Amino acid sequence: MASEREYFDLSGPLHLTFVDWGNAYHRQSVAASLVQGVYILERDRQERRVGPNALAPPWWTFFHFQLFRPLIDDVDSTIFGAIYEFKPPSSKCNDMLDRSPRYVIAFRGTLTKVDSVSRDIELDIQFVRNGLHQTSRSEIAIQAARNMVAAVGDSNIWLAGHSLGSAMALLTGKRMAKHGMFVESFLFNPPFVSAPIERIKDKNVKLGLRIAGSVAKQKKDVPLDELDPFTALSAWVPCLFVNPSDHICSEYIGYFEHRKKMEEIGAGAIERLATQNSIGGLLMSAFGKESEAVHLIPSASLTVNVSPCRDFREAHGIHQWWRPHLQLEQKLYRY
């Protein structure tokens, strides 16, 4: 039986009867709804809901999108993503559609249902081990983005994802950015592989741990001017949406703020090295194993939802990002 959260008319952003594409809240709400559409697409498949019984279509048709094609995992045949095409009414003038995308590539996160959970958890583990880039699902996602960019250009495409899906979108966006293609990206509750330092209340203890971590992550055998893999990525500024009560993504708050503090105390050179590496990645490299810390990025527009939340499920959920009257704090960080 479907939950209330799957029905657009019960839990979707019905208040957005008009989308101002220049409004940041409107843009994030549409992107989050399209990600939710991917979740429901897979749930429709699992529950064999088709035709008028399908619950997914309202999540995109409400905003004048059409399903261009689903993205299907080659291992378990689950739907993990979707490409949407924007089809606005002909009555809409071009000025009203400024900053709207032509296509959106969206990715869902982990589904705890029997038909999909084993594969999703396998990919969660690959992410933690810095091996997500070696999976066939990531290859499918990256190739889909390459094909769309080749067809319509990077400025006409959005990437969007939630949780594991945001890691997939982040990996895809980084691949594009390394080749000079900067795709606008909306990453909801993106996972960050780290000890949950951000949850420590004592600011001095927290700062001390971060400084120790920064020093530990330096590659002292490589000159600073030769170690800057972020250079090709620094012009790409994805939009990250995190909740401080969600330990899966909250470390991004400290990740960017600590870099700023290190610059202020004159230790920017150390932090510029540290911000490119993870402890896990350095350990993998020490054992001669390939790894890529997907979660480490040079620049971002970070939006923090400081609205009260009841529990972790709400803090990590996709639904929070289209609710009205959100209390949001936004900061721009450039490398």
> Which pLDDT belongs to residue 212?
42
Cα of first residue to Cα of last residue in the chain, in angstroms, is 47
Residue 266 vs residue 293, higher pLDDT: 293
In a domain, 227, yes or no: no
The answer to whether residue 203 is domain-embedded is no
Q: Is residue 207 part of a domain?
A: no
Mean pLDDT of the chain: 86
Which are the contacts of 122, defined by CB distance < 8 A and separation ≥ 6? none
Pinpoint the alpha helices (H) of 158-266.
164-177, 203-216, 251-264
Structure tokens at 325: 């009257």
Sign of the CA dihedral running 112, 55, 188, 158: positive
What pLDDT, on a 0 to 100 scale, did the predictor assign at position 97?
81
The pLDDT score that the predictor gives to residue 231 is 72
pLDDT value for 159: 98
Percent of the chain surpassing pLDDT 90: 71
Distance CA 314, CA 121 (A): 20
Does residue 269 belong to any structural domain of this protein? no
CB-CB contact of 273 with 218 (8 Å): yes
Q: How confident is the model at residue 286 (pLDDT cuts 50, 70, 90)?
A: very low
Confidence of residue 21 (pLDDT cuts 50, 70, 90): very high
| Tokens encoding 14 | 């019905």
SS3 103: strand
Q: Average pLDDT of 51-74? A: 98
Amino acid found at 26: H
Burial label for 230, CB within 10 Å (0-12, 13-18, 19+), is: middle
Question: For residue 268, what pLDDT is reported?
Answer: 44
- Place 292 in a pLDDT band, splitting at 50, 70 and 90: confident
- Position 250 confidence tier, pLDDT thresholds 50, 70, 90: very high
How much is the pLDDT for 216? 41
Q: Which two tokens stand for residue 262?
A: 């290190």
Distance in angstroms (rounded) separating the CA atoms of residues 215 and 66: 49
Would you say residue 225 lies in a domain?
A: no
Lowest-confidence segment of 63-72, 128-137, 237-246, 272-281 by average pLDDT: 272-281
Return the closest-CA partner of residue 327 out of 238, 245, 257.
245
DSSP SS3 for 186: strand
224 within some domain: no
pLDDT at position 228 is: 55
Give yes or no for residue 43 having a pLDDT over 70.
Answer: yes
Q: Is 287 within the bounds of a domain?
A: no
270 within a domain of the structure (yes/no): no
Pick 194 or 329 by higher pLDDT.
Answer: 329
Q: How far apart, in whole angstroms, are the C-alpha atoms of residue 46 and residue 40?
A: 10
pLDDT at 193: 86
Tell me: the pLDDT tens digits for 152-183? 999 999 999 999 999 999 999 999 999 999 99
What pLDDT sits at residue 267?
47
Predicted confidence (pLDDT) at residue 218 exceeds the cutoff of 90: no
Domain count, the chain: 1
CATH number reported for the structural domain that contains residue 176 in this entry:
3.40.50
Q: What residues make up the domain containing 174?
A: 4-198+232-264+292-333
Question: Quick check: 60 pLDDT over 50?
Answer: yes
